[in-house]
A and B are shown apart, each in its own frame.
Chain A
Amino acid sequence: AQSVTQLGSHVSVSEGALVLLRCNYSSSVPPYLFWYVQYPNQGLQLLLKYTTGATLVKGINGFEAEFKKSETSFHLTKPSAHMSDAAEYFCAVSYPNTGNQFYFGTGTSLTVIP
């Protein structure tokens, strides 16, 4: 079965510290990979995505993620957390061979401590 796992439903970091949010997928076919952010009482907004090409992808707000096929991972990082980064983060995948659906992880709530 195709699925997405986000380890850690809650992550807390201090302001200025590294942010690392984990995402792993399970399939034999490399998927398209996405990270979305959801601020309180808002819809989801795309942070970045990987489809093909360079495996290190840079997104908005200083976030980046690296696709590692050998580890089936697409972890999201940011070198220095800001208070404004506090939000819910979702990893999602879609597949080039099964075209109709996105699969979302269960989300990681990021808290930034001043």
Chain B
Amino acid sequence: DTAVSQTPKYLVTQMGNDKSIKCEQNLGHDTMYWYKQDSKKFLKIMFSYNNKELIINETVPNRFSPKSPDKAHLNLHINSLELGDSAVYFCASSQDVPLLGNEQFFGPGTRLTVL
């Protein structure tokens, strides 16, 4: 059983297109995250949701819009894709908010390539 799953694993698309990445966790966790990992492996937090409510919204272009239909899902929609959006996007979840010391569980990543 995959704890945190993402689809698709690979996404190749043209500039200007709109695309979505889906994330699901079956761990019963309350908090979910989206990270962007660039070509130098640097991890940048984008968004975090706790019980379907947005709790972190870092400086991310508003072309990126997260949606959490329920606690187990956090999807990422990207409008008007740009070359600089090419990266690996990771979804993660944790039992509760980080102040309680719970670790994060990561999905396998979605490699987005914008041509």
Q: Which of A44-52, A62-70, A78-86 lies on the face that meets chain B?
A: A44-52
**Number of residues in A with C-beta < 8 Å to the partner?**
29
Q: Is the CB of A94 within 8 A of B101?
A: yes
B residues near A104, Cβ cutoff 8 Å: 43
Taking the complex as formed, is A97 at the interface, i.e. its CB lies under 8 A from any CB of chain B? yes
Number of A-B contacts defined by CB within 8 Å: 65
Docked CA distance A32–B17 (Å): 40
Q: Specify which of A42, A43, A49, A90 lies most central, judged by the most chain B CB atoms within 10 Å of its CB.
A: A43
Minimum CB–CB distance for B49 against chain A, Å:
11
Taking the complex as formed, is B18 at the interface, i.e. its CB lies under 8 A from any CB of chain A? no
Minimum CB–CB distance for A102 against chain B, Å:
5
Q: Is the CB of B98 within 8 A of A95?
A: yes
A residues near B90, Cβ cutoff 8 Å: 43-44
Q: Is the CB of A51 within 8 A of B101?
A: yes
Q: Is the CB of A99 within 8 A of B97?
A: yes
Taking the complex as formed, is A101 at the interface, i.e. its CB lies under 8 A from any CB of chain B? yes
Q: Is the CB of A106 within 8 A of B42?
A: yes
Those of A52-111 within 8 Å (CB) of chain B: 52, 88, 90, 92, 94-102, 104, 106-107, 109
Taking the complex as formed, is B106 at the interface, i.e. its CB lies under 8 A from any CB of chain A? yes
In the complex, the 4 A-B pairs of residues with the closest C-beta atoms, listed nearest first = A99-B99, A94-B98, A43-B106, A51-B101
Give 22 A-B contacts (CB < 8 Å), ordered by A residue. A38-B41, A42-B108, A43-B109, A44-B92, A44-B104, A46-B103, A49-B101, A51-B101, A90-B43, A94-B98, A94-B101, A95-B98, A96-B100, A96-B101, A99-B98, A100-B56, A101-B48, A102-B33, A102-B45, A106-B41, A106-B42, A109-B41
